Amino acid sequence: MSDAPQYTPIPPQPSQPPQSSAQSGLSDTAAGALAYVTIIPAIIFLIVEPYNKNSYVKFHSWQSIFFCIAAFAVHLVLSLIPVIGWILVPFVSLGFLVIWIILLLKALKGERFQLPLIGKLAAQQAGN
C-alpha cells in the first residue's frame, strides 16, 4: 500500500450562458428569448432596468424589433403585388416562422446569432 494521494479527475465544466442578477429571477437567456415572443417585451426590455443596461438582452430586443419591421414590410409589399405576391405570401410567412424559431432557440442557448443585415444594426444599437 502506498501513501500517494489518489488522483480523481474533474470533468470540464460547461460554459455557462450569461445570467442576470435581476431581482425578478429572469435570466438573460430567458429575457433574450422572451424579446422574440412579440415586439412588446422587446420594447419593454429596452425601457426597464436592469435589462436596458444588459448588452445581451438589448441585442436580442433590437434584433426582434428589426425582424418584426422587416417581416411586416415584406408582407406588405407582397400583398400589394397581384396574384404572384399573394401566392408567395404563405411561403414567405413560413420562412419567417422558421427564422423566428431559430432566433428564439439561439437566444435560449445564450448565443448572439446575428441575421445578415438586421443583426449588424441590432449590434450597433446594443452598443457591441
For residue 36, the Cα-to-chain-centroid distance in whole angstroms is 6
- pTM, two decimal places: 0.77
Q: What integer best gives the mean pLDDT of the chain?
A: 85
In this predicted structure, the answer to whether residue 69 has a pLDDT above a threshold of 90 is: yes
pLDDT of 94 reads 97
- Percentage of the chain beyond pLDDT 90 is 63
Q: Which residues of 68-105 are buried (b: 16+ CB within 10 A; e: fewer)?
A: beebeebeeebeeeeeeeeeeeeeeeeebeeebeebbe
pLDDT digits (tens, 9 = 90+) for 9-49: 666 555 555 554 445 568 889 999 999 998 999 999 999 98
pLDDT of 11 reads 61
